[in-house]
Amino acid sequence: MKTIDELLAEGVAGKRVFVRADLNVPLDGTTITDDGRIRAVLPTVAKLAEAGARVVVASHLGRPKGAPDPAFSLAPAAARLGELLGADVAFATDTVGESARATVAGLADSQVAVIENLRFNPGETSKDDAERGAFADQLAELADSYVGDGFGAVHRKHASVFDLPARLPHYAGYLIATEVGVLKKLTTDVQRPYAVVLGGAKVSDKLGVIDHLLERADRILIGGGMAYTFLKAQGHEVGSSLLQEDQIPAVQEYLRRAEEKGVEFVLPVDVVVAPAFPDLKTKAPAHPTTVAADAMPEGQMGLDNGPETNKLYASKLADAATVFWNGPMGVFEHPDFADGTRAVAQALVDSPAFSVVGGGDSAAAVRILGFDENAFGHISTGGGASLEYLEGKTLPGLAALED
């Protein structure tokens, strides 16, 4: 695929460059609680503006239902992008309508505009090729060339990700080039031992990547809500913990295959439990206790790895040469259940391994818990995209950037 450096070499002064970014940031009302994804696209936007391009930035935010919804407006993200650039950023209040056309037409060289949430138009996410294509045609009228830099969306077959690049000269931005380069280190010529840490709520979300990694990883550490389906699959009671009964046969098969292939599966040996899910708004004390993972009492919910598990996992990561981590170990948003996630993050900081934090909640946890992002090899902006890449799937947004 061509890169942004090739576009810059061709010259962009006075040209309209459409940048498909991922500004899908978490909001508390209109306040951005984590601007990591905005900062991630900053090098691409800043370089284009510096070279004299008229930059049109587009993104989705949340899951609006194909119509404008103030709760999902990109206005806060546009304002934050302007603060980070140190320059005014124009904002269009629609995607391809009068405001977007006027805003883009009013750009001077080196100026930047953000158009409203792409998902306010039903054509963005439509499964109908013609409807998606019609929206892509309208977006193409706003630009002379296309730069794909929204890695968090490249696994979606959406108009701005998949259809639009076919209508314009297209290039990969700095973020996508970096993300793909990092993920190649996890799939080809991997430095060993290769350890994978998987957490998060549902084991069903990770089945594909587990299946793929059984052929590649040396050890797989499991935490988060998904761990309780694994513990149940081993015959242990899990109280009122999150459990996907229908996935137990698949999990048992993975455990069997792992043993057959010599892949070490590491599960919690103790867990932090509480009578109910904690209140994440008030952060009220949740009255946690620590119990052995094979002796969880009835009526108690597992919400984090226990201290012995944290020591065990740190020891399993200490000698790794490559680590991929996707998914928190517990309900890290509450102080009573953040230690497991913190322990994994600290183990990666302490390890000499090339460590990749696979986006989503893991990336948010690293920042929320106060870790220096530079202490990790790479923090991905796309949890779902990272997982699908590691599953070996073809990602529509990357395929569209290939010539």
* Cβ-proximal residues to 323 (8 Å cutoff; 6+ apart), any chain: 194, 195, 196, 197, 317, 348, 351, 353, 354, 355, 356
How many residues are recorded in the chain? 403
The one catalytic residue among 2, 202, 216, 367 = 202
Query: For the purposes of burial, counting CB atoms within 10 Å of the CB of 214, is it exposed (0-12), middle (13-18) or buried (19 or more)?
Result: middle
306 is a catalytic site residue: no
219 a catalytic residue = no
302 carries an active-site annotation: no
Amino acid letter at 306?
G
Rounded to whole angstroms, the Cα distance separating 391 from 388 reads 5
Determine which one of 359, 383, 384, 397 is catalytic. 384
Q: How far apart are CA 185 and CA 158, in angstroms?
A: 27
Task: Please say if 384 is a catalytic residue.
Answer: yes
Q: What is the dihedral of CA 295, 301, 306, 310, to 10 degrees?
A: 120
Contact 319, 191 (CB under 8 A): no
Angstrom distance (rounded) from CA 313 to CA 288: 21
Q: Per the structure block, which two tokens stand in for 375? A: 């202490």
CB proximity list for 212: less than 8 A, separation 6 or greater: 390, 391, 392
Instruction: Report helix angle 36-50 to 174-185, nearest 10.
Output: 130
Would you state the structure tokens that stand for residue 250, as one six-digit string?
Answer: 């698949």
Do 223 and 199 touch, CB atoms closer than 8 A? yes
Q: What DSSP assignment string belongs to 298-330? A: TT-EEEEE-HHHHHHHHHHHHT-SEEEEES-SS
Catalytic residue among 37, 47, 54, 232: 37
Q: Which residues are identified as catalytic?
A: 37, 202, 360, 384
